[in-house]
Amino acid sequence: MQTLLNTVKDIFDAEQFVFEPHELYDPIEYTLRLGGKRIRPVMLLAANQLFGGDAAQAKDAALGIETFHNFTLLHDDLMDKSPLRRGKPTVYRKWNENTAILSGDTMFAMAWRYFLRQPHTRLQEILNCFNETAIEVCEGQQYDMNFEQRDNVSIAEYMEMIRLKTAVLLAGALKIGALYACAPNEDIEHLYQFGIALGLAFQLQDDLLDAFGDVAVFGKQTGQDIRDNKKTYLYLRALEKGSAQEVQELRDIFASTPENSDAKVARVLEIYRHLGIKEEVENTVEMEFSKAQRSLDAIAVGENKKRPLQELMEALLGRKK
């Protein structure tokens, strides 16, 4: 896996993002140089490698998938009014809101340009996959915003939202990498389902770590979802399991915005612990992890070729097989 990480780093280090006018492209350069894990291009190249593809042919698609991902972050930060991204000021805070919109729009167009750089016999399928994935990610973001205004969100609706907002981009990156290698359709479908299950497990674990994670390990303040009144899997499951009194208390707490939110977080976590929510989410993460493992196992290639994806899955979820 480290080899793939190094390859992605080299691809981005070699790419030029700054053009004229600087007011448009400087924020793009800033965003794409912030780094991050770059999991999606790594997945794309790992899938391509899995089926014996040519990494040189797929590298522009790796640029495209990461440029698209960062476009979504640029606009998400503006919609959520987030001041920081990877410890640095977000584009709309460093420049302004109009710049964040226009530079983000340009990044979406750049992503398409990267995909169109290389001719390929399955290019139509590749572009269809990218386009459908992009639409689904936007659908997921809209559902996420809708849920902020609703009190009756179900767990099924939440799972569909995170499938669209998070999982489909991981799955789409894998599928695109496999298409560049002209993999069999049956194996591509197994790989796509691997990405969906992995994405769901990853997001649920992120929800869990936000509530119960170790700050030193998690790398940021815990309880932020509670402070922001986000309707995560933990909150929705607590509404299902809690007594009428606990449910009403949770609804009241999640409708409040106290200046000192530490007591709010502490009380919500107390309710979660009482209801066994942490253990339930851990079980759901384990279920999705097992689904991902079964899908990976079903792909008809040698186990040694699957090792980079196996390592990537274990690293994302912090475990060993």
55-59 long-range contacts, CB within 8 A, separation 24+: 55/7, 57/118, 57/120, 57/180, 58/176, 58/177, 58/180, 58/181, 59/7, 59/11
* Contact yes or no for 73/32 (Cβ under 8 A): no
The pLDDT of residue 131 is above 90? yes
Q: For the chain, which residues make up each domain, given as ranges?
A: 184-321
What digits encode the pLDDT tens for the residues 10-33? 999 999 998 999 999 999 999 999
DSSP string, 190-211: HHHHHHHHHHHHHHHHHHHHHH
Output 123 or 224, whichever has higher pLDDT. Answer: 123
Q: Report the pLDDT averaged over residues 275-299.
A: 97
What digits encode the pLDDT tens for the residues 218-243? 556 789 899 999 999 999 999 999 99
The pLDDT of residue 217 is above 80? no
Q: Report the pLDDT averaged over residues 135-162.
A: 96
Q: Report the pLDDT averaged over residues 155-176.
A: 98
Average pLDDT, the chain: 94
269-274 long-range contacts, CB within 8 A, separation 24+: 269/211, 269/212, 269/223, 269/226, 271/238, 271/242, 271/246, 272/211, 272/234, 272/238, 274/246
The pLDDT of residue 86 is above 90? no
Distance CA 87, CA 22 (A): 23
What are 179's two structure tokens?
A: 């298409």
What digits encode the pLDDT tens for the residues 43-56? 999 999 999 999 99
Residue 222: its pLDDT value, please?
A: 83
Distance CA 92, CA 81 (A): 9
Residue 2: its pLDDT value, please?
A: 84
Residue 321: its pLDDT value, please?
A: 43
Residue 319: its pLDDT value, please?
A: 59
Residue 219: its pLDDT value, please?
A: 56
Any idea which fold 184-321 has? Farnesyl Diphosphate Synthase (1.10.600)
Distance CA 254, CA 225 (A): 10
Residue 121: its pLDDT value, please?
A: 97
Q: Report the pLDDT averaged over residues 256-272.
A: 94
* Contact yes or no for 84/90 (Cβ under 8 A): yes
C-alpha angle with apex 46: 44 to 49, nearest 5 degrees?
110
What is the per-residue burial (b if ≥16 Cβ within 10 Å, else e) of 261-299? beebbeebbebbeebebeebbeebbeebbebbbebbeeb
Q: Report the pLDDT averaged over residues 94-102.
A: 97
Q: Report the pLDDT averaged over residues 263-292.
A: 97
Banded pLDDT at 320 (limits 50, 70, 90):
very low
- Of 207, 227, 210, nearest in space to 219 by CA: 210
Helix (H, G, I), strand (E, B) or coil at 89: strand
Banded pLDDT at 72 (limits 50, 70, 90):
very high
Residue 1: its pLDDT value, please?
A: 75
**What is the Rg, in whole angstroms, of the alpha carbon atoms belonging to the chain?**
20
